[in-house]
Amino acid sequence: MLTKTQAAEKLLQLDDLLILCHRNPDGDTLGSGFALCRALLNIGKRARVFCQDKIPDKFRYMVPEMPEFEPKHLISVDVADFALFGDKTEEQIALYGPVELAIDHHPSHRPFAQELYLEGNSASCCEIIWELLNEKKDCWKLDRTIADCLYTGVATDTGCFKFSNTSPRTHRIAAELIEMGADYVTINKVMFDTKTFEELKLERLALDRLWMSEDGKIAVMTITKELMEEAEVDETGLDAITSLPRKIEGVEVGITLKQRGETEFKVSVRTGETTSASDICAHFGGGGHARAAGCQFEGLSTGEIQKKMVEAAYQEMGRG
């Protein structure tokens, strides 16, 4: 593993660089990639970001004009595991690889690159990119669009400074990015205060079918294929709604059933401080984290799944 200074120096040496993001790209992998790409372009190097999946429209402001060239170096940002690249990125690695350096913040990182710079307690990969650029500040030409890119990852990976991964350093970096001119008002509006009409419709339809236990501690939401069709959303539109049941005041266990196939359901569980979501899901062969976990069912009706989930939730409730 590289030291911080070694990693910071390595970034400055790179040219003709292909920067690899993980598939299903989010604000942190794209923010890290485009910040670094722009920093290199600004000092006359050639660099390009590669992400095999479509970059969501809301992140377009990060994308610079990128030159065409034959990559001589490859690095990855925010990629915790080789399996998260995806087939088209693997092709790029086969053509131009290997991956020389992986920069990541996932404690679960499984090494795949020649060298690694990992800060497992960093809230976002963008925090690390900021730290590395800042280490050699005088050698770079950092501008406000780079600040926009980094702020995007810092904010989105912490739920706008709400999640427990937010550290004093996170806030201090946000302060510096705002001083650099990051347009945090617009970025936060787009990332946190915008809902598509379809998402709202789905929310409305799902709320119509919300089930609450009599003591108000368990809320279950069931999203059938039929309901998704009515709201005109696909699987990718379901992320936000999964956290909704748990947001209801007094609810300790929020459960969302999502229909996958005809008789196939994916169940997401979100819990408060005193109940383990992964312990609930372990009843049915699932798992995950303490506050967020999942499991799957096949061949059962929604009523049967709900009954099983609620029973397991009551058994685990209050056990931590």
In the set 192, 298, 307, 311, which binds a second copy (CB under 8 A)? 192
Angle at the Cα of 293 (from 244 to 84), degrees rounded to 5? 105
Mark residues 271-300: x for contact with a second copy by CB under 8 A, - for none: --x---------------------------
Neighbour tally for 8: CB within 10 Å: 19
214 touches a second copy by CB under 8 A:
no
State which residue, 50 or 151, has the beta carbon closest to a second copy.
Answer: 151
Place of tokens 């003709």: 16
State which residue, 89 or 158, has the beta carbon closest to a second copy.
Answer: 158
- Which residues partner with 20 through β-bridges? 50, 76
Return the half-sphere exposure (C-beta side, CA atoms, 13 A cut-off) of residue 139: 13
Between CA 246 and CA 252 the distance in angstroms is: 7
Closest approach of Cβ 59 to a second copy, in Å? 14
131 touches a second copy by CB under 8 A:
no
State which residue, 91 or 215, has the beta carbon closest to a second copy.
Answer: 215
| 35 sits in which H/E element | helix 27-42
Determine the angle formed by the axes of helices 4-13 and 125-135, rounding to 10 degrees: 80
53, 23 Cβ separation under 8 angstroms? yes
In the set 112, 130, 140, 184, which binds a second copy (CB under 8 A)? 184
Closest approach of Cβ 297 to a second copy, in Å? 26
Q: Is 271 helix (H, G, I), strand (E, B) or coil?
A: strand
In the set 110, 136, 195, 260, which binds a second copy (CB under 8 A)? 195
Between CA 268 and CA 63 the distance in angstroms is: 33
207 touches a second copy by CB under 8 A:
yes
In the set 43, 175, 240, 290, which binds a second copy (CB under 8 A)? 175
In the set 167, 224, 259, 296, which binds a second copy (CB under 8 A)? 167
Closest approach of Cβ 3 to a second copy, in Å? 25
State which residue, 189 or 260, has the beta carbon closest to a second copy.
Answer: 189
State which residue, 17 or 220, has the beta carbon closest to a second copy.
Answer: 220
Residue from 28, 11, 18, 38 nearest 141 by CA: 38
248 touches a second copy by CB under 8 A:
yes
Between CA 200 and CA 192 the distance in angstroms is: 14
203 touches a second copy by CB under 8 A:
yes
Between CA 231 and CA 319 the distance in angstroms is: 37
225 touches a second copy by CB under 8 A:
no
In the set 136, 189, 225, 307, which binds a second copy (CB under 8 A)? 189
Between CA 16 and CA 73 the distance in angstroms is: 6
Neighbour tally for 268: CB within 10 Å: 26
141 touches a second copy by CB under 8 A:
no
Mark residues 78-107: x for contact with a second copy by CB under 8 A, - for none: ------------------------------
| 136 sits in which H/E element | none
Determine the angle formed by the axes of helices 168-179 and 125-135, rounding to 10 degrees: 60
How many chain residues touch a second copy (CB under 8 A)? Answer: 43
Q: Kindly list the residues in this chain that would bind a second copy in the complex (CB under 8 A).
A: 160-164, 166-172, 174-176, 178-179, 184-186, 188-189, 192-197, 200-201, 203-204, 207-208, 210, 212, 216, 243, 247-250, 273
